[in-house]
A and B are shown apart, each in its own frame.
Chain A
C-alpha cells in the first residue's frame, strides 16, 4: 500500500510539474497570431497515446475484472435468478466483444491514420452496402437478446401458481414490516391504511375474520424452501423498493397501489452457509428506492428453511391479536365468538363504542374508522 501511495504521489507530482511548466510556457510565449498549418510532434504523440491507452486500459480492465469478480452477482438462490444470470453473462459476452472491437478500431484508426505530410485523406462519403450490414447485424443481435429476455420476463412476471405461499411486506420510513397469513387459515386478512396506529402498524382490518390469526414481524421474514412464494408488497408512506439480492427479486412498494412478486427460493439459509463458506451468512431484504434519511439501512432478515421447520416456526408465533388484545375492541359483535380463541381468557370486555376505543389505543391520535369510498 505504501508503495502504491508513493508511486501515485510521484505520478501526481510529475503531472503537476508538467501542467505548471506548460502554463508558464503559455504565459511567456509571444502573443502574436498562430502560424497556420504546422502539425508537428504533438500530433504523433497524441496518436501514439491512443494506442498506449488502449493497451494499458485493456490490461487494467481485464485485471480489475478478475480482481472484482469474486463479488459479482452473489450466488443466486432462485431458478429465475439463475436464468437471468445466464442471460446477463450472455449479454455481457456479446457487448464485451462489441466493446473491444469498436474501441480497438477507434483507437487503431486514430493512430494509423494520423496526419502525414503530403498524404490526402480518402474521399469516401458513403457506402450503402456497408451501412446496411451494420444496421442489420445489430438489429439481429438485438432481436435475439430481446426475445430471450422477453421470454424470461414473461415467465417471471406471470401470475403466481395457485399453491403459492402468500406473505405481505410493507415498507415504511425506515423499516420493513412483514405480515404472515397465520397458521389457522393461511389467508391474509383485509387492511385499511386508516386503521394504522402504534398497536397495528400494518392497518389490519379486524372486521375480516381472516385477520385474526395474522402475525407480523419487523425483524425477520421466514419462508419455506422450494415452494412458490408470493410477496404482496405495499408502502405506508413513500415509495420503497423490495430488493432481495440473492433471490434476484426487486419490486417497488407504492402507497395506494399494491404490487407483487413471486419466486421460488431453492437454497435454505443453512445450505447457503455451506455454499458460500460463510457461517454467518444470512439472506437480506434491502430498499432500493430513495425514501429519506434512513434509506440505506432498511434491513430485514430473510430466513429460508425447509417446510417442516418453517411450519414449526410459524406455530410458535403469536397472532397480533393475542399479543395485542386491545385490538379485540375492533372486532364486530358477530365475529367475537370466532376471535375468542386468539384472546386471553381474561380479555377485557369490548366497549360498546369502538371509535372511542381506537382513539385511546392510537396513542392520542384520533383515527376514525371509515372505509374508503
Chain B
C-alpha cells in the first residue's frame, strides 16, 4: 500500500513539475541545471574545440610535410607568425604543437568526451531524475566555459600562447626570458587550467555521488552497465589526480610570479646573460607532479571510450558482453595501476635508475588487464549476429586502435628500449593511436549511438559509414608510418629535420605522405559535422528504442523532459546484457523486465530471484522527486 501511496505522490509531483512556470530561455538553454542540456553544451563545445585543435595540427603538419612550402595564404589567420619569407615562425611552431596537445587532451577528450557522456548517461542509465546536484553540474560547465574562453584568448595575444609542450616543463615554462610563449601565454594557460581543474572536480564529485546514491530500485553495482562503471572509475581517477596537477600549476605560478624556487635551481639565462638567484629547486619535482595527473589522464580519456564501446559492441553484436565481471575487474585494475606508473614518462630524466626499474615492472603489469579487455571485445564478436551501425563500426575501429597502439606500449614501457625511443616519433605514434584515436573513436561512436536519445532524431547511417571508413583508413595512414620515423630516431617537436645528418634528406616523402593523410582525415570530419548539424534539425524522427538496447535510457520518452521519466522511475531486475537469451522471444530483454515475466528464458538461479522482486519494488529511497526540495 505504501508503494501505491508513494506512487500517487510521485505522479502528483510530476504533474506539479509539468505545471512549473515555463523556464526562461536563459535558464533552459544557457544556465541550465538539466544534465541533458549540460551534456549537449559539453558536446558542442567539444566539437568546436576539436575543429580548432585539429586545425592547429594541420598547420604544423604543413610545415613538417612540406618544409619549402610558402604559407602566405595563412597570413590572414596567423599574421606575423608567418615570417617575411612565407614560412612558419619556429616559436609559433612550438606554440601550435603545445596548443594542439592541450586542446585535444583536456578540452576535447576530457571535457568533450567524459563531460558529455558522463552527464548524459549517468542519470539515464542508473535511473535517476538528474545529477545529485544540478547546480554544481551547471557550475562545472561554466567553469569549463571560462577555462575555454581564457585558452582561446591566449591563442591571439602578441607573444603567442604557451609553447613549452603540453607538459609545460619548467624551467622553460617558468622563465619568460626563455621563450615568448612563456610570457603572458603561459600565464593564461595556467589560469585556464586552474579553472578547468575546478570544473573537472565539480563534475567528478557529482558523477561519483550520483552513481553511489541515486541508482534506481534494484540497480545494484553488479547490474550497472559497463558505461557507468567506466564513468565512475574515471571520475574517481580525476578526483584523485587533478588536484595534484593543480598543486603543480600553483607552484609554477609561485615560481613565475612570486620569486619562489620550487622548480628552479642554478640557472644562467638570457641573451645578455643573467645568473638567477634561485637555488635548491628541482625541475624533476614538476615532472613527478605533472605525470601523477598526466598518466591517469590517459585513462581518464580512454576509460569512458572503452565503457561506451562495451555497451555498443554488446548491443550491436546482439550478445552479452563477454566476461562482464572480468571487464569490471580489469577496469579497476587499470584505474589502480594508473596511479603507480607515472614515472615511465621519466626514464631518462636523470631519475634514479632503481626507480626506473620499479616503474618498468609496474608499467608492464598494466598491459595484462588491457589485454584481457581486448580479448573480451573480440570474444564478444565471436558467434554474434552483428549489425553494423556507424556506432558499431567506430567501436570496432576503437578496438583495433587500442590493440595496435597499446602493443607498442610494451616497447616504450621497457626502460632499456625507451632510451633510444624516448621523445621520438615512435612515442607520438604510440599515444596518438592508443589514446588519441581510440578515445576519439569512442566519442564518435557515442555520438552516433546516443544521438537519437539526445536530440530525438537519427543521424544518417550511410554518411556515418563513409565517415567511418575515411577516418579509420586516414588515421592508420597518419600514424602507422610515424612509427618508422620514430624507429629511425627522429625527435619530436622539431621545427625542421634539416640540421642533422641523421635526419636530413631521409623520410621527406614519408613526412609529406603523413601530412597529406592528416589533411585527408581532417577533411573527412566535415562529413560528420554536416551530418550532425543537418540531423539535429532535419534528421528522421527517432523511434523509442532504435538499437533494441537493454539499458534504461531507452525506456524514457523519445524526448525526455525534466526528471527523465514521467511517473515512476522503472525498477531494475536484471543485468544489462541479456541479448539473444535462449528461449526468449526477442533477442533482447531490457533491464526493467522482471524475471517473473520471462519464465521461458530464465536460468535456474534467476528463477530464485523472482521472490526478490517485491522487495526491489518496495525500495524507493532515491527518487529526487519524492524528497522535499
Give chain A nearest CB distance to B371 CB in angstroms: 4
| Interface-facing stretch out of A31-39, A333-341, A346-354 | A31-39
How far does the alpha carbon of A282 sit from the alpha carbon of B500 in the complex, in Å?
10
In the bound complex, do residue A292 and residue B179 qualify as a contact, i.e. CB atoms below 8 Å apart?
A: yes
- B624, CB-defined interface residue at 8 Å: no
Chain A 70-110: CB-based contact to B (< 8 A → 1; otherwise 0): 01111000000101100110011011001100110111011
In the bound complex, do residue A121 and residue B540 qualify as a contact, i.e. CB atoms below 8 Å apart?
A: no
In the bound complex, do residue B466 and residue A18 qualify as a contact, i.e. CB atoms below 8 Å apart?
A: yes
In the bound complex, do residue B480 and residue A61 qualify as a contact, i.e. CB atoms below 8 Å apart?
A: yes
Q: List the B side residues contacting A153 at CB < 8 Å.
A: 353, 356-357, 360, 414-416
- A250, CB-defined interface residue at 8 Å: yes
In the bound complex, do residue A84 and residue B267 qualify as a contact, i.e. CB atoms below 8 Å apart?
A: no
Can you name the residue of chain A whose Cβ is closest to the Cβ of B506?
Answer: A71
In the bound complex, do residue A292 and residue B178 qualify as a contact, i.e. CB atoms below 8 Å apart?
A: yes
Q: A115-B385, A153-B357, A255-B264 are known contacts; what are 15 more A-B pairs with Cβ within 8 Å?
A: A87-B416, A91-B417, A107-B400, A113-B385, A115-B387, A120-B580, A121-B319, A131-B323, A142-B368, A149-B360, A149-B415, A241-B423, A251-B350, A256-B265, A256-B283
How far does the alpha carbon of A15 sit from the alpha carbon of B326 in the complex, in Å?
42
How far does the alpha carbon of A22 sit from the alpha carbon of B375 in the complex, in Å?
36
How far does the alpha carbon of A167 sit from the alpha carbon of B470 in the complex, in Å?
53
* Contacts A110-B381, A284-B501 given; does A296 touch B90 at CB 8 Å: yes
- B487, CB-defined interface residue at 8 Å: yes
Q: List the B side residues contacting A103 at CB < 8 Å.
A: 400, 403-404
**Which of A53, A259, A287, A288 counts the most B-chain CB atoms under 10 A from its CB?**
A288
- A10, CB-defined interface residue at 8 Å: no
Give chain B nearest CB distance to A316 CB in angstroms: 25
How far does the alpha carbon of A154 sit from the alpha carbon of B353 in the complex, in Å?
7
Q: List the B side residues contacting A252 at CB < 8 Å.
A: 348-350
Chain A 18-55: CB-based contact to B (< 8 A → 1; otherwise 0): 11001101110101111011010011011101100100
In the bound complex, do residue B414 and residue A292 qualify as a contact, i.e. CB atoms below 8 Å apart?
A: no
Give chain A nearest CB distance to B89 CB in angstroms: 9
- B317, CB-defined interface residue at 8 Å: yes
Q: Of A43, A115, A257, A288, which is within 8 A of B350 by CB?
A: A257
Chain B 368-399: CB-based contact to A (< 8 A → 1; otherwise 0): 10011011111101111111100001001001
In the bound complex, do residue A64 and residue B348 qualify as a contact, i.e. CB atoms below 8 Å apart?
A: no
In the bound complex, do residue A106 and residue B360 qualify as a contact, i.e. CB atoms below 8 Å apart?
A: no
Chain B 278-311: CB-based contact to A (< 8 A → 1; otherwise 0): 0111111000000000000000000000000000
How far does the alpha carbon of A49 sit from the alpha carbon of B411 in the complex, in Å?
31
How far does the alpha carbon of A295 sit from the alpha carbon of B499 in the complex, in Å?
10
- A306, CB-defined interface residue at 8 Å: no
Q: Of B164, B381, B463, B579, which is within 8 A of A290 by CB?
A: B164
| A-B interface contact total, Cβ < 8 Å | 391
How far does the alpha carbon of A68 sit from the alpha carbon of B486 in the complex, in Å?
11
Give chain B nearest CB distance to A282 CB in angstroms: 6
In the bound complex, do residue A74 and residue B488 qualify as a contact, i.e. CB atoms below 8 Å apart?
A: yes
- A157, CB-defined interface residue at 8 Å: yes
Q: List the B side residues contacting A288 at CB < 8 Å.
A: 422-424, 491-492
Q: Of B465, B538, B581, which is within 8 A of A46 by CB?
A: B465
In the bound complex, do residue A365 and residue B502 qualify as a contact, i.e. CB atoms below 8 Å apart?
A: no
How far does the alpha carbon of A212 sit from the alpha carbon of B9 in the complex, in Å?
92
Q: List the A side residues contacting B264 at CB < 8 Å.
A: 255-256
Which residues of A163-190 are within 8 A (CB) of B?
173
Give chain B nearest CB distance to A125 CB in angstroms: 4
| Interface-facing stretch out of B73-81, B107-115, B167-175 | B167-175
Q: Of A110, A127, A138, A156, which is within 8 A of B419 by CB?
A: A156
- A119, CB-defined interface residue at 8 Å: yes
Q: List the A side residues contacting B587 at CB < 8 Å.
A: 120-121
Give chain B nearest CB distance to A186 CB in angstroms: 25
- A291, CB-defined interface residue at 8 Å: yes
Q: List the A side residues contacting B417 at CB < 8 Å.
A: 84, 87-88, 91, 149
In the assembled complex, 21 residue pairs joining A and B whose CB atoms fall closer than 8 Å, in A order, are: A19-B463, A71-B507, A74-B502, A91-B414, A102-B375, A106-B399, A126-B325, A127-B322, A146-B414, A150-B357, A152-B416, A153-B415, A157-B353, A241-B348, A241-B423, A246-B502, A250-B420, A250-B422, A250-B423, A257-B284, A292-B94
Q: List the A side residues contacting B175 at CB < 8 Å.
A: 237-238
Q: Of A19, A26, A46, A259, which is within 8 A of B534 by CB?
A: A26
In the bound complex, do residue A124 and residue B320 qualify as a contact, i.e. CB atoms below 8 Å apart?
A: yes
Q: List the A side residues contacting B431 at CB < 8 Å.
A: none
Q: Of A46, A107, A123, A297, which is within 8 A of B320 by CB?
A: A123
Can you name the residue of chain A whose Cβ is closest to the Cβ of B167?
Answer: A290
Q: List the B side residues contacting A43 at CB < 8 Å.
A: 386-388
In the bound complex, do residue B386 and residue A23 qualify as a contact, i.e. CB atoms below 8 Å apart?
A: no
How far does the alpha carbon of A84 sit from the alpha carbon of B487 in the complex, in Å?
13
- A130, CB-defined interface residue at 8 Å: yes
* Contacts A22-B462, A251-B350, A295-B94 given; does A154 touch B179 at CB 8 Å: no
| Interface-facing stretch out of B236-244, B268-276, B434-442 | B268-276
Give chain A nearest CB distance to B50 CB in angstroms: 19
Chain B 305-343: CB-based contact to A (< 8 A → 1; otherwise 0): 000000000000111111111100000000000000000
In the bound complex, do residue A290 and residue B404 qualify as a contact, i.e. CB atoms below 8 Å apart?
A: no
In the bound complex, do residue A106 and residue B396 qualify as a contact, i.e. CB atoms below 8 Å apart?
A: yes
In the bound complex, do residue B419 and residue A296 qualify as a contact, i.e. CB atoms below 8 Å apart?
A: no
Can you name the residue of chain B whose Cβ is closest to the Cβ of A94?
Answer: B410
| Interface-facing stretch out of A194-202, A215-223, A317-325 | A194-202
How far does the alpha carbon of A203 sit from the alpha carbon of B325 in the complex, in Å?
61
In the bound complex, do residue A197 and residue B273 qualify as a contact, i.e. CB atoms below 8 Å apart?
A: yes
Q: Of B320, B403, B411, which is within 8 A of A88 by CB?
A: B411
Interface size in chain A (residues, C-beta < 8 A): 131
- B541, CB-defined interface residue at 8 Å: yes
- B481, CB-defined interface residue at 8 Å: yes
Give chain A nearest CB distance to B200 CB in angstroms: 26
Q: Of B356, B374, B465, which is within 8 A of A157 by CB?
A: B356
Q: List the A side residues contacting B280 at CB < 8 Å.
A: 256
How far does the alpha carbon of A297 sit from the alpha carbon of B321 in the complex, in Å?
52
- A6, CB-defined interface residue at 8 Å: no
Give chain B nearest CB distance to A309 CB in angstroms: 22
Chain B 447-479: CB-based contact to A (< 8 A → 1; otherwise 0): 000000000001011110110011011001000
Q: List the A side residues contacting B254 at CB < 8 Å.
A: none
Q: List the B side residues contacting A3 at CB < 8 Å.
A: none
Q: Which 10 A-B pairs give the minimum distances between C-beta atoms?
A: A256-B265, A259-B350, A157-B353, A297-B499, A68-B484, A149-B414, A152-B416, A46-B388, A121-B580, A122-B383
In the bound complex, do residue B364 and residue A106 qualify as a contact, i.e. CB atoms below 8 Å apart?
A: no
Which residues of B566-583 are within 8 A (CB) of A?
577, 579-582
Q: List the A side residues contacting B491 at CB < 8 Å.
A: 243, 286-288
In the bound complex, do residue B502 and residue A245 qualify as a contact, i.e. CB atoms below 8 Å apart?
A: yes
- B489, CB-defined interface residue at 8 Å: yes
Q: Of A31, A87, A291, which is within 8 A of B540 by CB?
A: A31
Q: List the A side residues contacting B94 at CB < 8 Å.
A: 290, 292-293, 295
Give chain A nearest CB distance to B408 CB in angstroms: 7
- B156, CB-defined interface residue at 8 Å: no
Give chain B nearest CB distance to A251 CB in angstroms: 5
- B407, CB-defined interface residue at 8 Å: yes
How far does the alpha carbon of A270 sit from the alpha carbon of B625 in the complex, in Å?
83
How far does the alpha carbon of A311 sit from the alpha carbon of B354 in the complex, in Å?
36
How far does the alpha carbon of A139 sit from the alpha carbon of B283 in the complex, in Å?
35
In the bound complex, do residue B384 and residue A238 qualify as a contact, i.e. CB atoms below 8 Å apart?
A: no
How far does the alpha carbon of A280 sit from the alpha carbon of B505 in the complex, in Å?
14
Q: List the B side residues contacting A237 at CB < 8 Å.
A: 171, 175, 178, 267-270
Q: List the A side residues contacting B410 at CB < 8 Å.
A: 91, 94-95, 142, 145
How far does the alpha carbon of A56 sit from the alpha carbon of B480 in the complex, in Å?
14
How far does the alpha carbon of A299 sit from the alpha carbon of B491 in the complex, in Å?
13
In the bound complex, do residue B386 and residue A32 qualify as a contact, i.e. CB atoms below 8 Å apart?
A: no
- A248, CB-defined interface residue at 8 Å: yes
Which residues of B115-156 are within 8 A (CB) of A?
none
Q: List the A side residues contacting B382 at CB < 8 Å.
A: 109, 113, 122, 124
**Which of B279, B322, B408, B501 counts the most A-chain CB atoms under 10 A from its CB?**
B501
- B253, CB-defined interface residue at 8 Å: no
